[in-house]
Amino acid sequence: MFSSQLQPFLEPRKLADQEAEIKGQTIVSRLPRLAEFRDSQDEIVEVALRFGRDEEHRQCLSGTVKTELMLTCQRCLEPVRCQVEARPSLVMVYNEEQMKALPEHLDPWMVTDERITLSELLEEELLLALPLVAMHEQCPTVLHKSAEPAAAVESKRDNPFAVLAQLKSRDD
Ligand SMILES: [Zn+2]
């Protein structure tokens, strides 16, 4: 299916009145607050947002924002690839009073500007959706870990270019 290019800026209140749906993809490197996930910068972020009004006629936003990030396994401290999926369900509020008046089970979203930056919303939602504890289902074994440096030494020794370099330096 054709995935449309996401617009960098949104007008949430207008979109809510239009009951608009926004679908598309971006990549992690376009979300500056996710810059710390250096091994995940090329990952695709799938975005599907629905704007509209709830049964109380409040402007709201719901949908999904998902990607995969390399996190650190809390058991073995090796990298682990985790699916991160945010399911925002937000009610737009204009000010503090409205926020306080909102029933507790609803998530307020302060929208004071007409226009918002989409990437800021996506970053915020993904950061909130990070798992509290990232872990492999099955951690790589200790044996595998200790075998790696030995293999590296082996390939260095067999490198024909290293031998040539030695011959060359002898000629000099
Ligand atoms: Zn692990």
pLDDT at 132: 93
pLDDT at 5: 74
127 part of a folded domain? yes
91 part of a folded domain? yes
- CB burial readout 35-66, b (16+ within 10 A) else e: eebeebeebebebebbbbeeeeebbbbbbbbb
User: Where are the extended beta strands (E) located within the chain?
Assistant: 9-10, 21-27, 44-53, 59-72, 79-86, 89-93, 107-110, 116-117
Residues 46 and 127 in one domain: yes
Span from the CA of 169 to the centroid of ligand 1 (angstroms): 45
Provide the token pair at 89: 């369900």
Which one, of 26, 11, 55, lies nearest residue 126 by Cα? 26
Span from the CA of 82 to the centroid of ligand 1 (angstroms): 12
Span from the CA of 133 to the centroid of ligand 1 (angstroms): 11
Span from the CA of 28 to the centroid of ligand 1 (angstroms): 23
Span from the CA of 153 to the centroid of ligand 1 (angstroms): 25
Residues 88 and 160 in one domain: no
Span from the CA of 42 to the centroid of ligand 1 (angstroms): 23
Number of domains the chain is built from: 2
Span from the CA of 72 to the centroid of ligand 1 (angstroms): 8
Which one, of 101, 13, 10, lies nearest residue 59 by Cα? 13
Structural domain boundaries, residue 78: 9-137
47 part of a folded domain? yes
Span from the CA of 138 to the centroid of ligand 1 (angstroms): 6
Span from the CA of 31 to the centroid of ligand 1 (angstroms): 27
Span from the CA of 57 to the centroid of ligand 1 (angstroms): 47
Return d(Cα 69, Cα 161) in angstroms, integer: 37
Please list the pLDDT of the chain residue by residue as tens digits (172 residues).
445 679 999 999 999 999 999 999 999 999 999 999 999 999 999 999 999 999 999 999 999 999 999 999 999 999 999 999 999 999 999 999 999 999 999 999 999 999 999 999 999 999 999 999 999 999 997 555 554 555 444 444 555 555 555 555 555 5
131 part of a folded domain? yes
Run of H or E including 167: helix 160-171
